[in-house]
Amino acid sequence: MNEPRWMLASTSFKNIAIFAGGIDQSGKVMHVVESYHSEIGTWKTLPCLIKPWKLSSGVFMDGKFYVI
């Protein structure tokens, strides 16, 4: 993970896991979104959330990732 955090939204689909939002080590609520591709072992930064989120859930639905 490029930006370590907890209390984040996450989900996986096939060989990709996505992590969004959460709280960083200083307690700041984050809007960062990252994906991890398990077959090649790489992280990728994705477009940020519109606003920072914590204590949320993530889900894939109809080919899209949602944070709720």
Which residues neighbour 15 within 8 Å (Cβ) at sequence distance 6 or greater? 37, 38, 39
User: What's the pLDDT at 1?
Assistant: 86
Residue with more model confidence, 3 or 54: 54
The pLDDT tens digits of the residues spanning 15-59 come to: 999 999 999 999 999 999 999 999 999 999 999 999 999 999 999
In this predicted structure, the answer to whether residue 3 has a pLDDT above a threshold of 90 is no
Q: How far apart are CA 53 and CA 60, in angstroms?
A: 17
- pLDDT number for residue 63: 85
- Report the 10 Å Cβ neighbour count for 26: 5
Is the pLDDT assigned to residue 12 strictly greater than 90?
yes
